[in-house]
Structure 1
């Protein structure tokens, strides 16, 4: 290869590398130039993200998302909320459809291979079992051979089927799960603790159903961003810490009847020390 050609090829490779680095570094700038934060949020998952009586997005994580938007843009209205479910939230993130996930995203090593996690902000009961009041489940092993309704993409599905032998009947959204259970398509629901603990207090549910088995594990909840976006991740993390320090998550637990958790209280105290 002639010297000029080799030199041109080398310069092209260097330029390509520099451009790739700029693309990553400019993610925060691109989001700010757009003028709004595009967030993947649940709209079917009370109390973390759901639609209120007026059809407006509300919930524990919706409040957090608005706080992050306010920190980045000066207004909590500078936000676009894209409905996601467990089975598509990471796919939509990595496809560039959303900037960040705030949608009950459990922090796991496997997920950490394909996305970066933000600061944690909640600890969730990983899975409980809701069943008819007359059910006699005494341990998770008792679900073997039972038809269990659940969510597509839930990280505990493998445990339910492979360890405890449940026959899973999976759906994308919570409304579908509830309907399938109430119409007799499954014997019980295995789903995230806060959601089912809230559901079992509702009219039409509290007289017929119970939490038959408590959580077997707790998992930290965090937001998610695409890999290779350190400036954007740093800005989101800073906004989360400021929201925690301001009491957003502590007041959110009370506002959405989540109880008072040591985890959220301690994070708020630690955040106050960090943002001084």
Structure 2
């Protein structure tokens, strides 16, 4: 009898402990509100999504979105900590608890969905394009076989470039290092996200020397990322993103940062407004 009672008490204790752990894991929203500040992982060298101006101000498409989300969740757009991340460390920092949310050109895929939860998708990026000297004769992706291409660590398409198309990749941790490596002759072309390379060509010096030799072979939806098992926090972030879209924030951001007017962002804005977000 006593042994049975102890066993029941032990089981009850274990179950209670598990329940408490699950409750603690699901209370990120309360923690963020109690802290009074939202901590967001962003890019700071990724024109036009997140970059430092000459005055050392962080600007960009996702910076505007991050501040709006902070305003909705903690009540003020200024109560935010923007933590610079790169493709190779952003998920690690999220799951380590260093940041609450990723808004850093995070492409949606099945592998990442195993370790984080994605927010509402808010952009559709030209997956990767090829920037090369104007005299380049590259005409199709198969032509990069055996060539050295500069790119970024953690990019979704690195494996496709090497596996499918047979290129050699020279992978850097930041865009400044990537462009410098290209100019220094470490690679014959740059394989990277379309909007960033298009933006680079708006610089007259780059536009005079280089071209987009190949357009993308894929498009990828961009979303935010949160830790697993945080349903209340995820719901609030999603509400904020939809509200930002409904208010036309991202349509305006495309205009502000010379991104062009994309059908994807415009349609999402119209749908969100029609749905009353």
Unmatched 5+ stretches in structure 2: none
Q: Distance in 2 between matches of 1:274 and 1:10?
A: 47
2:179 equivalent in structure 1: 178
1:61 equivalent in structure 2: 62
TM-score, normalization by structure 2: 0.98
**2:41 corresponds to 1:30:** no
1:87 equivalent in structure 2: 88
**2:270 corresponds to 1:238:** no
1:150 equivalent in structure 2: 151
In terms of mean alpha carbon deviation, does 10-19 or 97-106 score higher? Answer: 10-19
Deviation at 1:71, TM superposition (A): 0.7
1:78 equivalent in structure 2: 79
- What SS does structure 1 have at the residue aligned with 2:205? coil
Unmatched 5+ stretches in structure 1: none
Deviation at 1:203, TM superposition (A): 3.0
Q: Counterparts of 1:131-170 in structure 2 under 5 Å? A: 131-170=132-171
Kept in 2, the 8 Å contact 1:253–1:260? The answer is yes
1:196 equivalent in structure 2: 197
In terms of mean alpha carbon deviation, does 73-82 or 17-26 score higher? Answer: 17-26
- What SS does structure 1 have at the residue aligned with 2:269? helix
- What SS does structure 2 have at the residue aligned with 1:138? coil
1:232-275 Cα deviation digits (max 9, x unpaired)? 00000000000000000100111111111111111001111223
Deviation at 1:77, TM superposition (A): 0.4
Q: Distance in 1 between matches of 2:120 and 2:5?
A: 49
**Count of aligned residue pairs for this structure pair:** 276
Deviation at 1:14, TM superposition (A): 1.5
2:43 equivalent in structure 1: 42
Kept in 2, the 8 Å contact 1:24–1:228? The answer is yes
- What SS does structure 1 have at the residue aligned with 2:65? helix
Q: Distance in 1 between matches of 2:172 and 2:49?
A: 19
In terms of mean alpha carbon deviation, does 251-260 or 200-209 score higher? Answer: 200-209
- What SS does structure 2 have at the residue aligned with 1:207? helix
Kept in 1, the 8 Å contact 2:32–2:74? The answer is no
RMSD over aligned Cα, in angstroms?
Answer: 1.0
TM-score, normalization by structure 1: 0.98
1:16 equivalent in structure 2: 17
2:251 equivalent in structure 1: 250
Deviation at 1:110, TM superposition (A): 1.1
Kept in 2, the 8 Å contact 1:241–1:275? The answer is no
